[in-house]
Chains A and B, each alone.
Chain A
């Protein structure tokens, strides 16, 4: 890594445009919201910044804390599943032949050019009590039942009396399914990116030294792919936290997350100061997470001398 003093011109040329853009179209608008969070409605459409802490105090009400906890939990589980499912998939693509790679990438990305709303509605067709997933499960159940019958074990009643469709919609599992479904490519891409250009010779070295393929994977491949995995985790967790459409549609209004509350403040409740306060709190928390990670990276870089 270079110090900027050596190449100040290049540094400014590269960082300048982004910086200006962010200040103008991001920091300034955020500043407006920040001021709103200390404000209150003086009329139906006007907000005055009275520097009140009322909005933040309301954040500590039990229902808000409950919803935040629920959101963190759902986002966490979804991210975990995305990483567990996404890593092997990214690995397969990254290790595929040069001709196959773009096709496999396309295969993964294609579902995600469908509009989010449409995809979620498509999930309604899949996850409903009369949806395709339950139909599949019922079919599998039928086979399992038949097999047990032929083997003569059915009197054990392992499978119960009959097939009851599983309830996905309106439950947390439905929402998790939805978040995973929507987030999976965001998890795969960064992992793929980092696997793709990894130094394969290190793997070869490991195997030359006698490690098996899975051992190499565990001790060499995965640690080397970590930057990609961490990026994937962040890129999945954060939007998952801010989801409101998925819990609304798949949770059928029963599994609200914190973003649903925010949405209501900006629309139905017409309480923009409160909505701003909640959004900003979410922001402060995740910003802290990122800052910690960044300091960690910098410390590690200084320690190992790597950039």
Chain B
């Protein structure tokens, strides 16, 4: 069944919206001419404390701020047609997926002068050459959070979590099939993007065998389990562990020797966005140096914004959990979208793991 064509309708709405910008029913929040709305769909607690308010005050644009829990939710929401979001925050491999599905609007770089603030290294990634559809927001790693007093030395290999009894009954893995498999690939010394049939089968066996030793496949709260003492080792995003470290000095974060996963969350505009003009304004605002610094300070993930980074404290820029050393990063890889075929194979393997 073909998707209902909704682009004509939204184009009409966009034109109507553009006309309405001059005739706003809202009392303008500032003297600036810009007005109207923007629908921002973001991860939870992934913005500075006052960023939205400050944006509204500075531009007079009202922000409708909605939250999603993971990339799949974002993709599922937009799959059947954009229900009205203007700015979204997908992770790098989902940007690829959305680009392949033609769900993103090309960005008008002329409307985003703050682009210049971004680190040059981030401006031409493999998943979006030339940054046509996305701009970086935050980046980080997936590694291992652990309780320091529970071990003699920090875990050094993914095999400790995935392939051995050493820490039986004290481990939490993630609940994302692909990510866990990718770490299994790493444990085997392979690239995390190498989804060959042999690798998938071997990873499936490894994880199935390890299942009795695992306490939980945590959706996003591995750090909570760590803090509560339910587990001593958690496969987690670095930012989550950092926030846990804030509460408990006994928690540490490490990238295993084989390397971890490098991820990047980006700002995009989905096709069918009703307020494209305001969307660009929002993205530009978020890439401002001070705004970026405020966000980084609150969210505590690594910022790709060089100008913002320059404003941050030594404590932040020197923190190896936020900005891992070159050698640690060298072996870590960015995840590439493997295509629908592989996604299906991974899911089937995962179902087999879960059924066992």
Given the complex of chains A and B, what is the CA–CA distance between A194 and B73 in angstroms? 42
**Interface presence of B100 (CB below 8 A):** yes
Name B222-237 residues within 8 Å CB distance of A.
228-230
Name A265-285 residues within 8 Å CB distance of B.
265-271
Known: A254-B211, A260-B354. A268 touches B340 (CB 8 A): no
Given the complex of chains A and B, what is the CA–CA distance between A191 and B58 in angstroms? 60
User: Is A128 a contact partner of B216 (Cβ separation < 8 A)?
Assistant: no
Name A154-170 residues within 8 Å CB distance of B.
169-170
User: Is A270 a contact partner of B340 (Cβ separation < 8 A)?
Assistant: yes
User: Is A267 a contact partner of B73 (Cβ separation < 8 A)?
Assistant: yes
**Interface presence of B347 (CB below 8 A):** yes
Given the complex of chains A and B, what is the CA–CA distance between A49 and B2 in angstroms? 9
Q: Per-residue CB proximity of B164-192 to A under 8 Å, as 1/0? A: 00000000000111100000000000000
Given the complex of chains A and B, what is the CA–CA distance between A266 and B151 in angstroms? 40
**Interface presence of A252 (CB below 8 A):** yes
Residues of A within 8 A of B230 (CB): 128-130
**Interface presence of A46 (CB below 8 A):** yes
User: Is B219 a contact partner of A248 (Cβ separation < 8 A)?
Assistant: yes
Find the B residue at minimum CB distance from A66: B355
Given the complex of chains A and B, what is the CA–CA distance between A207 and B77 in angstroms? 62
Given the complex of chains A and B, what is the CA–CA distance between A41 and B346 in angstroms? 16
**Interface presence of A32 (CB below 8 A):** yes
A143 to chain B, nearest CB (A): 26
Residues of A within 8 A of B219 (CB): 248, 253
Residues of A within 8 A of B348 (CB): 61, 63
User: Is A264 a contact partner of B350 (Cβ separation < 8 A)?
Assistant: yes
Given the complex of chains A and B, what is the CA–CA distance between A191 and B340 in angstroms? 48
Set B79, B103, B352: member contacting A63, Cβ < 8 A: B352
**Interface presence of B31 (CB below 8 A):** no
B199 to chain A, nearest CB (A): 18
Name A31-54 residues within 8 Å CB distance of B.
32, 35-36, 39, 41, 43-49
Q: Per-residue CB proximity of B74-108 to A under 8 Å, as 1/0? A: 01100110000000000000000100110100000
User: Is B1 a contact partner of A253 (Cβ separation < 8 A)?
Assistant: no
Residues of A within 8 A of B1 (CB): 32, 35-36, 39, 46-49
Known: A253-B218, A271-B344. A44 touches B355 (CB 8 A): no
**Interface presence of A145 (CB below 8 A):** no
User: Is A256 a contact partner of B347 (Cβ separation < 8 A)?
Assistant: no
User: Is B100 a contact partner of A44 (Cβ separation < 8 A)?
Assistant: yes
A201 to chain B, nearest CB (A): 54
User: Is A41 a contact partner of B355 (Cβ separation < 8 A)?
Assistant: no
User: Is B347 a contact partner of A271 (Cβ separation < 8 A)?
Assistant: yes
Residues of A within 8 A of B211 (CB): 254
User: Is A261 a contact partner of B351 (Cβ separation < 8 A)?
Assistant: yes
B105 to chain A, nearest CB (A): 15
A303 to chain B, nearest CB (A): 44
User: Is A269 a contact partner of B343 (Cβ separation < 8 A)?
Assistant: yes
Residues of A within 8 A of B119 (CB): none
User: Is A269 a contact partner of B216 (Cβ separation < 8 A)?
Assistant: no
**Interface presence of A67 (CB below 8 A):** yes
- Selected A-B contacts with CB under 8 Å, 18 pairs: A35-B1, A36-B1, A43-B101, A44-B100, A44-B340, A46-B2, A49-B1, A128-B230, A129-B230, A252-B215, A253-B354, A264-B350, A265-B347, A267-B73, A267-B76, A270-B79, A270-B340, A270-B343
Inter-chain pairs besides A64-B355, A70-B355, A269-B347, 4 sampled, C-beta below 8 Å: A62-B355, A130-B230, A268-B343, A271-B344
Interface residue ranges, B against A (CB under 8 Å): 1-3, 72-73, 75-76, 79-80, 97, 100-101, 103, 175-178, 211, 214-219, 228-230, 340, 343-344, 346-348, 350-352, 354-356
